[in-house]
Structure 1
Amino acid sequence: MTITVILGAQWGDEGKGKLVDGQCQEAQLCARAAGGNNAGHLVRVNGVSYSFHLLPSGLINPTCLNFIGSGVVFHVPSFFSELAELEAKGLSAVHDRILVSDRVNVLLDLHVAVDGLEERELGDAAIGTTRRGIGPCYQTSRARTGIKMTDVFYPDLFEQKVRRLADGYQKRFGELFEYDIEAELARFNEYRETLPKYVVDGVSFMRSAQESNANIVIEGANALMLDADYGSYPFVTSSSTTLAGIIGGLTLNPKNITETVGVVKAYTTRVGAGAFKTEDTEEIGTKLQEIGREWGTSTRRRRRCGWLDLVVVKYSNSINYYTSLNLTKLDVLDTFETIKIAIAYTIGGEELDSYPADLNILNQAEVVYHEMPGWQKPTTNARTYDDLPKEARDYVEYIEKFVGVKIKYIGTGPDRDAMIQRP
């Protein structure tokens, strides 16, 4: 048995789905641990692009079982619409290869309505959420007023809980709260008939999976810098995106984990508001955005772009303890004459020990850059490490030396096979 955990090491959108897809070619199970349909993984296989949001990317492999763990917030309409979309693109037996924990929190359209209102309340301080209801659903979960999957199958209890939530939000937002509770209840009368085939005891399922000889791939959602505790708070998601969150969201035995891969884009991007020390809003940022096609799989929002920030990556490693890294989209840098890498933050000439929690300190900090010559040669679809120009190899080796973790996988294009694996 092997368990490979694949986690975003920056602010998300690093290209985790491609590595997950590759690892799932030999896996019997692919599992999601946290987040919801705010995630966005785009995988291109044989010229066909597949978008994953709530569902694990392992569904591309026709022999791989997929599981949505207890730490996920589960939007039922998105679940069925996403399955239908994958089926329409030719993936086989998708309805027979996906299971859901009975302990997931159910994300209602009610939560979606509230998400938009809360963002409006924040005004200029808005988080920049995907407005998919993720935050409000986790809020009700932690307030112990949320709805678990098991509640769905008890109509009276389910209705009582939904009405109680709706009444509370009605009192808070008044006429601004636009929500058709009767339509939601009617939809769940139908879901009550179609959901049971997918729902399992999540704890029992994962225990059995780990006791078997299965190869398991864990697909992280979002990324370390969006973690509710360790990310660039408050501009974060509402779930635990760390290795610890993965373990808790899936009841993994930590001793069973064989590899923890941190996925790092060869430059830095983020969506939404919040600090971004290496962001470039002029020529460099625009060039990265256009060459890298930097717009969200889930939201279609254009991503903010800038140079690789190794302060962030090293901080990420100090929390997730990666055993290897996957450097993605190296080919996007092919035409740059000079490449810069952030290697420190300083205040008054003194280097900060780590990525700071204090936003005032972060705002005052100056970025120290290391410059390297670009390779100005195409790396797209390179298949071996020696196929890369020397300057590109120097870039790779500088990163792994600085972070202290080997770069085992290097992405050199959008296709499934455009991946170098180093021994």
Structure 2
Amino acid sequence: MGKNVVVVGLQWGDEGKGKIVDWLTDYAQGVVRFHGGHNAGHTLVVDGTEYKLNLVPSGVVRKGVQCYIGNGVVLETHHLLSEISALEARGLDVRSRLKVSPGCPLIFSYHSALDVAREAAKGSGKIGTTGKGIGPIHEDKVARRSLHVYDLFNPTRFGEKLEEVLDYYNFVLTQKFGAKAISFEAVRDQAMADAEGIKPLVADVSAALYAANKAGQSILFEGAHGSMLDIDHGTYPFVTSSNCVAGQAAVGSGIGPGLLHHVLGVAKAYCTRVGGGPFPSELDIETAGTPGHQMSSKGREFGTVTGRKRRCGWLDIAALKRAVQLNGVTGLCITKFDILDGLSEVKLCTGYKLGGKTVDLSPLGADDVARCEPIYETLPGWKENTFGVRSFEALPANARAYIERIAQLCEVPIDAISTGPERNEMILRRHPIAS
């Protein structure tokens, strides 16, 4: 019987989930993307070679591992085909191992045009989206007007649906935002051209996953973004447009929750955030010699997709505990641990002062989170180098104490610790699959 593991981010994304999925595929036979779109990005480093992925699951860099794009993913087909071509140009076998759900909603140029127009109109109050059209396509899905992968198989029906939805978008773009109208012919022709490359990849992902499970295979469900960006549970409205928590793995891939056996929550040893939104434990990242500057510069904190500089701060335990509960986390993985090397002291935000009260869980919604004043617990730092260390016992005593304190506060065991970007730069305490 295979053991299926959901890998989810517990912060505001960029926790290093891609590396962890890649590491775990040594014991898995398949990897599933179950939500998000090409606004998400995973960076993998294998034997000194860097791979940047947006839609293709991280299992693609392991030979023989099957890759699945579930119905919960919003798909920009042109981007997917470009990503596949780039990976194949580097010698990876992609098409024979990739299955795409026919239920994926399709992103087109009018989605990104509306996304960009809205952000521009908001000025200083903008959310900080990637401009990839993610919000508008999710609106279409809920409004029951989105086109899906299965529509590509019927050009006539596709054209009829596209004409109707494009009338709506062009009205909004031109009348509300003063933007240019989108050409029906241009969208249709590009979609039909891309369809020829997509059709051979389309398969019933739900049925394929049940068959794999029945055959005893272990499957990884690869999350994108982070739990604090979840549309329902994050710092709304400064969130993404999909559910990022572990429960979405079932919905977004077409399986029952009983097939999800272990939830591995991934968190950095500190916190980062891209774009707008409250961040209680945020630090100054511009002043040289400060902890925040070390996190930013040594951690190379720039977005995989946007290149934007990430905001940095101390590890927020109150937010982490909330994410642990939301996801039903059964094991933690702490990443970028070596970035804290050399600090004289390290801090944990164990709770907040909010409205005259002390709270130890992050509240819902951006307004209350913005009012939170962090409460810190200070621990001694360590001068020794932890980069590339592969055993817990080899860590400095203060580093071990920091890890143990995180586990104690979150009441969840720590399965693994990442001490560098390479696949094998890991400390394993309990293997999520092999154990």
Q: Is contact 2:389–2:426 with CA below 8 Å preserved after alignment?
A: yes
Partner residue, 1:201 = 204
Equivalences for residues 158-169 of structure 1 within 5 A: 158-169=158-169
Structure 1, 309-318 or 179-188: larger mean CA deviation: 179-188
Deviations 1:330-353 (CA, angstroms, capped at 9, x unpaired): 000002111111001113552125
Instruction: Select the residue among 370, 389, 411 that pairs with 1:404.
Output: 411
- Distance in 1, Cα, partners of 2:56 & 2:366: 34
Matched, 1:61 2:68: no
Q: Is contact 1:169–1:177 with CA below 8 Å preserved after alignment?
A: no
Distance 1:333 1:358, change over 3 A: same
Distance 1:296 1:358, change over 3 A: closer
- What is the TM-score normalised by the length of structure 2? 0.94
Structure 1, 120-129 or 377-386: larger mean CA deviation: 120-129
Partner residue, 1:21 = 22
Instruction: Select the residue among 187, 191, 204 that pairs with 2:190.
Output: 187
Amino acid paired to 2:58: S
Unaligned 5+ runs, structure 2 = 431-435
Deviations 1:57-88 (CA, angstroms, capped at 9, x unpaired): 00001110100001110110111111111122
Amino acid paired to 1:220: G
Q: Is contact 2:32–2:221 with CA below 8 Å preserved after alignment?
A: yes
Partner residue, 1:221 = 224
Equivalences for residues 266-277 of structure 1 within 5 A: 266-277=269-280
Partner residue, 1:110 = 110
- Distance in 1, Cα, partners of 2:367 & 2:240: 21
Matched, 1:355 2:362: yes
Identity %, equivalent residues? 37
1:244 positional shift:
1.3
Instruction: Select the residue among 303, 310, 335 that pairs with 2:310.
Output: 303
Partner residue, 1:285 = 292
Partner residue, 2:6 = 5
- Distance in 1, Cα, partners of 2:148 & 2:354: 47
Partner residue, 2:141 = 141
| Paired residues, number | 422
Q: Is contact 2:237–2:366 with CA below 8 Å preserved after alignment?
A: no
Amino acid paired to 1:422: R
- Distance in 2, Cα, partners of 1:327 & 1:184: 43
Q: Is contact 1:5–1:217 with CA below 8 Å preserved after alignment?
A: yes
- Distance in 2, Cα, partners of 1:264 & 1:358: 21
1:252 positional shift:
2.6
- Distance in 2, Cα, partners of 1:252 & 1:405: 26
- Distance in 2, Cα, partners of 1:192 & 1:230: 35
- Distance in 1, Cα, partners of 2:366 & 2:103: 35
1:201 positional shift:
1.9
Q: Is contact 1:113–1:178 with CA below 8 Å preserved after alignment?
A: no
- Distance in 2, Cα, partners of 1:12 & 1:180: 35
- Distance in 1, Cα, partners of 2:371 & 2:261: 40
Amino acid paired to 1:90: G
- Distance in 2, Cα, partners of 1:417 & 1:72: 29
- What is the TM-score normalised by the length of structure 1? 0.97
1:410 positional shift:
0.2
Structure 1, 343-352 or 362-371: larger mean CA deviation: 343-352
Structure 1, 6-15 or 253-262: larger mean CA deviation: 253-262
Matched, 1:82 2:80: no
Q: Is contact 1:17–1:42 with CA below 8 Å preserved after alignment?
A: yes
Q: Is contact 2:84–2:94 with CA below 8 Å preserved after alignment?
A: yes
Please provide the CA RMSD for this pair: 1.3
- Distance in 1, Cα, partners of 2:76 & 2:130: 14
The 3-state SS of whatever aligns with 1:145 is coil
Matched, 1:264 2:267: yes
1:204 positional shift:
2.0
- Distance in 2, Cα, partners of 1:155 & 1:85: 28
1:272 positional shift:
0.9
Unaligned 5+ runs, structure 1 = none
